[in-house]
Amino acid sequence: MANRLFTTKPMSLLMNETSDSEHGMKRSLTAFNLITLGIGAIIGAGLFVRTAAAAANNAGPAVTLGFIIAGIGCAFAGLCYAEFASMIPISGSAYTYSYATMGELMAWIIGWDLVLEYALGAATVSIAWSEYLNKLCGYFNFHIPYAWCHSPFEVLRNSAGTVISHGIMNIPALFIIFLLTLLLIRGTRESSVVNAIIVITKVSIVILFIVFGWSFMTKANHTPFVPPSSTYVDDQGVPHNFGGILGIFGAAGVVFFAFIGFDAVSTAAQETKNPKKAMPLGILGSLAICTVLYILFAYVLTGVAGIDDFRDPVRGKEASVTYAIQTYMTGFGWLAKLVTVAILAGFSSVILVMLYGQSRVFYSMSRDGLVPGIFSDIHKKFRTPYKSNLLFLVFVGLFASFVPGDIVGDMTSIGTLFAFILVCAGVWIMRRTNPQLERQFKTPFVPWVPILGIIVCGAMIFGLGWANWLRLGVWMLIGFIFYFSYGIKKSKLRN
């Protein structure tokens, strides 16, 4: 029994699935589409929200170094993803790679883990999208009533602490999930075109902020660049290691959320033209572009505004970038409004790619028999897994409509880091067990790159704390119950 749990999926079977054009999805994506897909998933809530939070609570201006450390960890994982994507160009991302290297049980664990990353990540970002939509409406003297843009577990209080409104349902969050699901059902190429337009918009805004903000930086805000070690207690009473080495690594863990998404590129393998060459370009290209933009953005933002600004309970959260522009960049009020639009666009593309990645992972798991066959049904006209998209519309939509958006960001991060660790380990294993396989792209310095990837990602998991380990454990327990009651009996590899 134990041996069967770790039975790997033969490479010959994987290659047959690659060439199955009759029952597969339409190949329409190029390397450029994949790069924009990756940038669309990466630049979003992490850059516009988490940068200021990490500066305030952890590292001050040294948050720039935190981005470099997080980027290095992602680069190790990205190199391993690129080798797998060139060698096994199948939908399913880390799930498929784990099935080929570590066996069915590990594949199930990582597939279930990716539900945590993609589905809950999409719901969380849709809730943030709702908040920023209200900010945009405010420019036109209109506001969505509190009751219809918040969950029933949230209340609005006045300065005296009296409850003045109750949330009922987050309609804007449900609306954006519904709209993007319809776009995904319509077709992958159509979705990638819309995503490319959004990417161009938000990257342009990021570059504008870097260029115009550079001349408004103050040397005092970057002095000292690495603050001395201390303990900072935020407005919620939560203590943080601030400054020094611990502060920088803490900032790396916080801003890691900003890198989540590049792995979603690997879920598009079966819809890509010439995936063995295009996939490595898409993964590493999007990661490289975003890392450079992140470092420059963080350096300029912490130079324009100071730590005290980001620590203010109102200014130092979602509106930190807008506040910095309006307060310190005289004559650039128009840019603050464009940043709000860019944030909305950024959130939209992140949600789009998260929903895309989730449906493609379950498509692969369904074809393997581990989840019901409905998840791999393909639309006759659009050649997309439309039933899977519709089912996740319900699941993600319910979460977005009726549950608050806190906590889930860290759950998304821990799920992603766990996936990165398994992919790094998988590349090392495949080099030893299948050295003869053709690899269009080879991860350099194996086993050192995979080992370093495992160490850096493991350190960031450790930094997320026991509460998130517990949540991950509970989620995995639910997954084990499903696997041993359904998946293990229906597995096509076993039967």
How many whole angstroms separate alpha carbon 197 and alpha carbon 193?
6
Angle subtended at Cα 219 by Cα 215 and Cα 225, rounded to the nearest 5 degrees: 125
Query: According to the model, what pLDDT value does residue 22 have?
Result: 43
Instruction: List, for the chain, all residue ranges whose pLDDT scores fall below the cut of 50.
Output: 21-23
Looking at the domain assignment, is residue 143 inside a domain? yes
Looking at the domain assignment, is residue 31 inside a domain? yes
437 residue type, one letter: L
Question: What 3 state SS string does 153-194 have?
Answer: CCEEECCCCCEEEECCCEHHHHHHHHHHHHHHHHCHHHHHHH
How many whole angstroms separate alpha carbon 340 and alpha carbon 49?
12
> What is the number of domains present in the chain?
1
DSSP state of 231: E
Identify whether the C-beta of residue 375 lies closer than 8 Å to the C-beta of residue 385.
Answer: yes
The H or E element spanning position 156 is strand 155-157
Looking at the domain assignment, is residue 312 inside a domain? yes
Query: According to the model, what pLDDT value does residue 214 have?
Result: 93
CATH number assigned to the domain comprising residue 91: 1.20.1740.10
Looking at the domain assignment, is residue 44 inside a domain? yes
**Residue pLDDT, tens place only, 76-108:** 888 888 888 777 766 666 787 788 788 888 888
Looking at the domain assignment, is residue 162 inside a domain? yes
Looking at the domain assignment, is residue 495 inside a domain? no
Q: Indicate the angle between helix axes 63-87 and 275-304, nearest 10 degrees.
A: 170
Looking at the domain assignment, is residue 441 inside a domain? yes
Neighbouring-strand partners of residue 240: 232
Output the six-digit token pair for 185. Answer: 């059902």
SS3 334: helix
Residue 140 CB burial class (10 angstroms; 0-12, 13-18, ≥19) = exposed
Q: Which residues form the domain of 181?
A: 2-490
How many whole angstroms separate alpha carbon 34 and alpha carbon 286?
8
Output the six-digit token pair for 472. Answer: 């991950």
CA 215 to chain centre: 32
Which parts of 403-483 fold into alpha helices (H)? 408-433, 448-463, 466-482
